[in-house]
Homo-oligomer: A and B are copies of this chain.
Amino acid sequence: MATEKVSSVYDPMAYPPAAVTVDVVLLTIREGVLSVLLVERGEEPFAGAWALPGGFVRPDEDLPDAALREAAEETGLAQLPRHLEQLATYGSPDRDPRMRVVSTAYVGLMANLEEPQAGTDARDARWWPVDDAGGDDGPTLAFDHGRILADGVERARSKLEYTALGTAFVAEPFTISDLRRVYEAVWGVVLEPANFRRKVIGTPGLVLPTGRTFSTGVGRPAELYRRGTAQLLQPAMLRPEQGDRR
């Protein structure tokens, strides 16, 4: 770590302290669209803009715990993200106009099970399609949250390639087509159902058959699966070259 720096070891306050915060890029898929949870800011700076849920890390709190706590507090979600991982830390001196704020961002993935509610401080909270965020018809993002969101989405996209995290976006039980639509939504592409199925079924431990089937009312009923224990896809399932980034 740190802390060498000569005499400063015994006088850390000689360095103006920075605020340490966490922000969470919480992703889900709603109606086939990759969406992110944002909260509306009620105060300056960026009053009226939308922001990633986040806040100060408490004195004896670990960073992932802070991320989970802030996401829950500010959004009213009862469900925990199925997956949470550290994304990156953003610490430009001027990223918050008020003071030096160093923020560690996390990416959370969850199935779309519930609607967010305004958090403890009563601001609005809702899901936004990630492709709208920062656009003309979508929310304006506060601070450098546009950059953080873009990094988080790219992390999710790349993680789907070589891990089993696609299953974090679906509720059990699910069909292979459900899972395929996850990949299509996150990557913004259309996949061959036949090849996708072969890949998923052929990866040991990725999905477990339940023996049950489910019919949407039209077409042949699909077999239902649960998440398996596999963590990695080997070999990876690479996204087609040009995912239609907005």
Q: A58 vs B3: C-alpha distance in the bound complex, in angstroms?
A: 12
Is there an interface contact between B4 and A55, defined as CB atoms closer than 8 Å?
Answer: yes
Closest residue of chain B to A91, judged by CB? B63
Is there an interface contact between A95 and B1, defined as CB atoms closer than 8 Å?
Answer: yes
Interface residue ranges of A94-148 to B (CB < 8 Å): 95-96, 98-104, 120-121, 123, 142-145
Is A244 close to B, CB under 8 A?
no
Is A62 close to B, CB under 8 A?
yes
Known: A17-B17, A18-B18. A1 touches B59 (CB 8 A): no
Is there an interface contact between B90 and A89, defined as CB atoms closer than 8 Å?
Answer: no
Is there an interface contact between B18 and A57, defined as CB atoms closer than 8 Å?
Answer: yes
* Copies of chain A in the complex: 2
Residue among B8, B39, B63 making CB contact with A89, cutoff 8 Å: B63
Segment from A20-28, A179-187, A188-196, A199-207 that makes contact with B = A20-28
Known: A91-B104, A104-B91. A4 touches B62 (CB 8 A): no
Residue among B1, B17, B95 making CB contact with A52, cutoff 8 Å: B1
Known: A20-B102, A102-B104. 7 other contacts (CB 8 A): A1-B54, A3-B21, A4-B54, A8-B55, A15-B59, A59-B93, A235-B238
